């Protein structure tokens, strides 16, 4: 810089302003981020803000430090432009109910993941009316106090994945009327109380992947009027959870992969009339009822790979479905005899089928989509209008 210009800046006091433009001397500031990460901090640094032009800091990054507590008014002194705070990977054990005082109208994203938090006490999130995303993943949380989230009236995305929760209780989501996505992936959830989700009328995605559910009561999911994606992968379900689809009218995709399901019974998915994808991969399924998919005429994708299905018989599971595009039977011990002639007929009409024949010997390894059973009488799928569903609901 020209010495004359520097002298003028000093005389005007601009050097002081530039030097103090980062709210903490323990942090660095650039590209709208107040970066305090990886600095071995044991407490939240003191912030002191002197407004400077063209420096709209929006994020405070405190990840990977040694901070064990967040005290009252911890972020006092931050510029009003800050909308995101990241406390990921700190050994946190306590957060004051007044920790975020002063950020009620500005904070939109809060990340407190990978900490030692076991319980977040009531009042911590009180008043954060602008918060839209809350991330509480990979902590040690084993309980959620009732009313903990009350006041988060604009929250849209919340994750409590990979904690130690075992029960979801009624009332725990009070105040979250705008929530769109909710994840409990990787917990220990074995039961869900009746009415737990009754206030989440706008929820679109519910992730319960990797838990210990062996039963889901329809009354537990009642009220999820807008739910489009339900992920129940890797639980302990012995059957398709009958009845839940009668209350999940807007469902688009359901994931039941990696459970203990041995058969798919009659009308298993009836009620979710807009359902487009059913994922039943990697179970122990041996039998699929002829009318398993009755009541879901818009179904497009059926995933049955990695099961124990030898034959779909003459049942033609594509009864009542006009728009099915893909049927995945990969890694099943399929017997390719005349009982599967209907499948060849559907392939000829454009159905994408994945999988191979296991038997008879001369057809072993033959792709199902190239199967030639023209010598058989074709048991083609008839329209859902012209046929009546079977009431059979057990393994023959």
CATH of domain 237-396: 3.80.10.10
pLDDT one-digit tens code per residue, 333-356? 999 988 888 888 788 888 999 999
pLDDT one-digit tens code per residue, 179-224? 999 999 999 999 999 999 999 999 999 999 999 999 999 999 999 9
pLDDT (average), residues 22-40: 93
Q: Which of 164-178, 223-237, 246-260, 365-379 has the lowest mean pLDDT?
A: 365-379
Residue 373 has pLDDT above 90, yes or no: no
pLDDT (average), residues 157-178: 95
CA distances from 232 to 112, 120, 183, 245, 279 (A): 25, 26, 11, 13, 10
Q: Report residue 65's pLDDT band, with 50, 70 and 90 as the boundaries.
A: very high
Q: Can you give the pLDDT at residue 340?
A: 86
Sorted by where each begins, the domain ranges of the chain are 237-396
Q: Can you give the pLDDT at residue 4?
A: 47
Residue bearing the bigger pLDDT, 52 or 295: 295
Residue 394 has pLDDT above 70, yes or no: no
């Amino acid at each position: 810089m020209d010495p004359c210009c520097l002298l003028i800046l000093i005389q005007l006091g601009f050097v002081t302003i530039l030097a103090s433009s980062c709210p903490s001397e323990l942090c660095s500031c650039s590209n709208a981020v107040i970066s305090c990460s990886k600095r071995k901090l044991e407490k939240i640094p003191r912030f002191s803000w002197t407004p400077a032009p063209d420096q709209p800091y929006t994020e405070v990054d405190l990840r990977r430090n040694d901070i064990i507590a967040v005290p009252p008014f911890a972020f006092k002194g931050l510029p009003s432009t800050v909308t995101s705070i990241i406390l990921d990977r700190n050994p946190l054990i306590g957060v004051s109910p007044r920790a975020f005082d002063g950020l009620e109208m500005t904070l939109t994203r809060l990340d407190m993941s990978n900490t030692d938090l076991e319980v977040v006490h009531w009042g911590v999130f009180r008043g954060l009316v602008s918060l839209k995303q809350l991330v509480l993943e990979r902590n040690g949380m084993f309980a959620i106090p009732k009313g903990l989230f009350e006041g988060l009236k604009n929250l849209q995305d919340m994750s409590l994945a990979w904690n130690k929760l075992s029960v979801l209780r009624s009332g725990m989501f009070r105040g979250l009327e705008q929530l769109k996505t909710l994840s409990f992936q990787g917990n220990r959830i074995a039961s869900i109380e009746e009415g737990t989700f009754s206030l989440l009328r706008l929820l679109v995605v519910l992730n319960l992947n990797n838990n210990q559910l062996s039963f889901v009561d329809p009354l537990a999911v009642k009220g999820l009027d807008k739910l489009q994606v339900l992920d129940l992968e890797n639980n302990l379900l012995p059957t398709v959870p009958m009845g839940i689809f009668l209350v999940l009218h807007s469902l688009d995709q359901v994931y039941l992969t990696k459970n203990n399901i041995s058969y798919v019974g009659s009308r298993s998915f009836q009620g979710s009339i807009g359902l487009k994808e059913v994922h039943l991969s990697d179970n122990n399924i041996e039998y699929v009822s002829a009318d398993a998919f009755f009541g879901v005429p818009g179904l497009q994708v059926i995933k049955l790979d990695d099961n124990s299905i030898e034959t779909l018989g003459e049942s033609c599971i594509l009864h009542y479905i006009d728009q099915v595009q893909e049927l995945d039977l990969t890694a099943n011990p399929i017997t390719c005899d005349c009982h599967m002639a209907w499948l060849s007929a559907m392939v000829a009409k454009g159905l994408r089928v994945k999988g191979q024949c296991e038997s008879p010997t001369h057809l072993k390894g033959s792709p199902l989509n190239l199967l030639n059973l023209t010598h058989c009488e074709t048991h083609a799928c008839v329209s859902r209008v012209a046929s009546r569903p079977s009431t059979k609901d057990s393994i023959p």
